[in-house]
């Protein structure tokens, strides 16, 4: 039971790390990158490459969000979702030659968990608590 709780805590913490823009300008962002490096067991070279890829992903997402709002029209949710998924796929493609298969799978799990947390802040994937069992 304790091992499961620890694993979930690491996963949730890693999920936050995966979605936080890595930058050396913020001590918190640097800590997030260090935590992600620990969770994925990255070498120093991998850490630098992953940080660059994630910074590019963040910049693309920020630019697309700003562009959608600058047009003055209400952004189409489906288009923004599709663009977000496209940028995530590009990130995975860029990380594939950098990370081992195991590291890449861990990164995907962390990213998916974080994505779910953005849409369900209470942490439940369905948004509802399970029914009590008697």
Are 34 and 132 in contact by the 8 Å Cβ rule? The answer is no
- Residue 69 is predicted with a pLDDT of 78
Gyration radius of the chain over CA positions:
17
pTM, two decimals, is: 0.65
Q: How many separate domains does the chain show?
A: 1
How many angstroms separate the CA atoms of 87 and 43, rounded?
25
In a domain, residue 133? The reply is no
Helix, coil or strand: residue 13: helix
Burial 86-125 (b: 16+ CB within 10 A, else e): ebbeebbebbeebbeeebbebbeebbebbbebeeeeeeee
Half-sphere exposure of 87 (CA within 13 A, CB side): 21
- Residue 81 is predicted with a pLDDT of 86
In a domain, residue 124? The reply is no
In a domain, residue 55? The reply is yes
Chain segment 111-133, per-residue pLDDT in tens: 888 776 655 444 444 444 444 44
- Residue 119 is predicted with a pLDDT of 53
Question: Any idea how long the chain is?
Answer: 134
Domain ranges, residue 114:
2-119
- Residue 15 is predicted with a pLDDT of 44
Chain segment 59-92, per-residue pLDDT in tens: 998 888 888 778 777 777 888 889 889 999 999 9
Chain segment 9-51, per-residue pLDDT in tens: 444 444 444 444 444 457 887 888 898 999 999 999 999 999 9
- Residue 100 is predicted with a pLDDT of 96
């Amino acid at each position: 039971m304790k091992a499961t709780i620890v694993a979930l805590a690491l996963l949730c913490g890693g999920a936050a790390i995966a979605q936080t823009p890595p930058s050396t300008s913020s001590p918190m962002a640097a800590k997030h990158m260090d935590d992600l490096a620990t969770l994925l067991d990255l070498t120093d070279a991998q850490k630098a490459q992953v940080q660059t890829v994630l910074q590019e992903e963040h910049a693309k997402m920020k630019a697309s969000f700003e562009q959608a709002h600058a047009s003055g029209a209400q952004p189409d949710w489906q288009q923004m979702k599709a663009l977000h998924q496209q940028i995530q796929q590009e990130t995975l493609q860029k990380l594939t030659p950098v990370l081992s298969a195991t590291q890449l799978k861990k990164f995907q799990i962390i990213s998916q968990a974080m994505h779910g947390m953005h849409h369900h802040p209470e942490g439940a994937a369905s948004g509802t608590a399970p029914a009590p069992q008697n």
